[in-house]
Amino acid sequence: MQLTHTQPEMEVTASSGTPHKRELPQALQALSYRNFRLFWFSQIVSLLGTWMQTTGQAWLVLQLSHNNALWLGVDGALQFLPVLILGLFSGVIADRIPKRKLLIGTQATYMVLATVLCLLVATHTIQLWHVLILSTLLGVTNSLDMPVRQAFVVEMVGRKSLPNAIALNSSSFNVTRIIGPSIAGLVIAGFGEMPLFLLNAISFIPVIICISLMRDAELQYQPQARSEEERQGVFQSLGEGFAYVKRTPAVFLIIAIVGVVSLFGINFNVVLPLFATTVLHSGSTGYGLISSFFGIGALAAALSIAARSRKPRIGFMVGSAFLFGVFEAIFSLSHQYIVSLILIAIVGFGLVSFTATANSAIQSVTPGHLRGRIMSVYTIVFTGTTPIGNLLTGGIANTFGASVALFAMAFISIVAAVVAWLKRKPAEQSLNTHTA
C-alpha cells in the first residue's frame, strides 16, 4: 500500500474502512486491535522462553568460565555490540521495508540460534567460545529486530493507544521475567541448562505464526512514501534522523538520559549471578528468585502505567530514573537476602516506569516517516551501549566485587537524573507541543 507524504495516519479494515476494535477496559485498550492481540499473546510465549534462556545462558557462562564475572560481561556485550555498530542502518531498513516481514525473519533466526545452543549442550560439546559466537550472531539479529519491533507497535495500534500498548508490552515482558527465571533456576538445578534452550527455540514458532496471520489492511501505515526519500542515500537518510533528534528538545533529552542510565545503571543484570553467589550466598534458585522479584516490581509499574494511559510526562520519566538509581545503590549495599528481594523489586518498578515513559514519549513526538530511524537511535542508546556497560561493570565487579560495581553504576544514574531534571523545561514544552 503506497501513501503520499500528506496523507494522514489512519487505521482501516479491508471490509469497512474503519478500525476493527473490541470494547475493552481502559487498561487493555490496545488489545482491541486484532493485530496487536496476535502480537501480544505470542510474545508472552516467546518471552517466557527468552527469559529462561537468558537465565540459563548466564549460568552456563559462569560455569564455563569458573565464576569469572568478566566473561559474563563479555557475553552480554557481544549480544548488543552489533546493535551499536549496525543499529542506525537497521533504522533506515525499517523505514523502507515492511516491518512485519522483517520481524518474521528475525524470529526465525532467533529460533535457529537457540536450537544450535541446545544441540551443543545436549551433545556435551559446548565450550565458552561457542556461546560467545552465538551471542554475537544474536546481537546481529537484535540490531535489526529491536528498532523494527519498537516502530511496529504504533503501526498496530496508532498514536492514541501507543502508551497503553507499550505498557502492555512491558507487562508481558515482566510477567515472563517473574516466571521465566524462577522456572529456569529449578530446571538448572534438576536437569541442567539444555531444556531451557530447547524450550526457547520452540517458543518462537507461535510468534512466527501469529505475525504471519496479521492483516496488512488493519495496520496503521505511517506517511513515509515520499518519492524524494526513496531516492535518498543511506547516509542522507541517517542525517535526516539525527537532525530531528538535535532540533527536538524532548527527543534530545530522552536520548541523553536513556543513554547514560543504560550505559551504566541498567547493566546490573551482568553481575547479578555473581552478587547472588558471593554476596547473598544463594545458588541458582536464589539467583532466579532475585530476577523474578525484579520482574514483580517491573510488572507493578507496567500495570500502573497501562491503567492510567496518560500522556507521557518528562518529569515523571526523570523522577523514575532517580528512583531507580537510588534503590539500585541501596540494593548494592544489602547483604540480607529477603531485604535484597524487596529492594530489587523497587529497582524494577523505577526502571520500567522510566523506560516505558521514555519509549512512549519519543514515539509520540516522532513523525511516521522518521520513526524507524529515531527508534534505531533510541535502541542504540538503550541497548547498543550495553557492550560498553557490560564490560565496564563486569571488569569493576571482577576487580572490586559485585557490590562496588553496582553502587558505582547506580551513582552515575542518579547524577544523570538530577541533571536531566534541571534541564527538563524545554523538553516538556516540546513534548506538550507535539502531543497537544
Which domains does the chain show, CATH number per domain? 26-216+229-435 (1.20.1250.20)
Per-residue model confidence (pLDDT) at position 116? 97
Question: For 327-339, what is the mean pLDDT?
Answer: 92
pTM above 0.85, yes or no: no
Tell me how far apart the alpha carbons of residues 312 and 251 are, in angstroms, rounded to a whole number: 13
Widest CA span in the chain: 64
pLDDT score of 208 more than 50: yes
Tell me how far apart the alpha carbons of residues 244 and 267 are, in angstroms, rounded to a whole number: 28
Per-residue model confidence (pLDDT) at position 233? 59
Per-residue model confidence (pLDDT) at position 242? 77
Cα end-to-end span (Å), the chain: 29
The torsion angles phi and psi of 367, rounded to 5 degrees, stand at -65, 155
Tell me how far apart the alpha carbons of residues 58 and 275 are, in angstroms, rounded to a whole number: 13
Query: Judging by beta carbons within 10 Å of its beta carbon (0-12, 13-18, 19+), is residue 66 exposed, middle or buried?
Result: exposed
Per-residue model confidence (pLDDT) at position 323? 96
Confidence of residue 231 (pLDDT cuts 50, 70, 90): low
- Please, which residues bridge with residue 21 across strands? 33
Torsion sign across C-alpha atoms 338, 171, 309, 428? positive
> pLDDT of 154-187, one tens digit each?
889 887 788 888 888 888 887 887 788 888 888 9
> pLDDT of 76-115, one tens digit each?
778 888 888 887 787 778 777 888 899 999 999 999 999 9
